Amino acid sequence: MRCPNCGAPNSRVTDSRDTGQEIRRRRECSECGVRFTTYERIQHATLIVVKRDGRREEFTREKLLRSIRLACVKRPLPTGALDKLVEEIESDLQRLARAEVPASVIGDAALRRLRKIDPVAYVRYASVYRDFDDLDGFIKEIQEYHSADEAEAAAAASAQLELIPKETLPPK
């Protein structure tokens, strides 16, 4: 690795850390002694997004992050939550191991994750993704959101194991 200060071709690694998505290396130039940091990231094959109208374009992490950030404007979300959300979506797409992915797969993944972290951001993103024409689209989406929440709560309640089985309780 060339030194950014003097351009010397040799440097030694003083510390190396795996951050999950990349490897961070602290280096020291053997000529001038300047310390600097480099990051190594796996370069995945280029992913192509197939749009609704049939156009194809290269997947851009920044574009996805920008659209999700726009839906989350002025929402009280923890720092780094959106970056983590986009990383998860990107990892899911890489795991598909396909060269082309429909835009709907990316949009659905974003909606699933936004649903878990913020209901307002979810509806905002859905309004653009599902292209609402009027107020009825918003109302329908919110109703579906509430009915899905109720269904999840009912499923969670029925999946709960009883502490004391009813057969062992004395009759009243």
State pLDDT tens for residues 27-64. Answer: 999 999 999 999 887 777 789 999 999 999 999 999 99
- Residue 94: the pLDDT is 87
Q: Which amino acid is at 148?
A: A
Distance CA(145)–CA(143), nearest Å, equals: 5
All residue ranges of the chain with pLDDT < 70 are 160-172
**What does 102-118 look like in DSSP terms, one character per residue?**
EHHHHHHHHHHHHHHH-
- Tell me what pLDDT residue 132 has: 87
Question: Do residues 27 and 12 lie in contact, with contact meaning Cβ atoms separated by under 8 Å?
Answer: yes
Q: First and final CA of the chain: distance in angstroms?
A: 79
For residue 154, what is the enclosing H or E element? helix 135-159
Helix pair 119-129, 103-117: axis angle to 10 deg: 160
- E strands, the chain, where? 11-18, 22-29, 35-41, 48-50, 56-58, 100-102
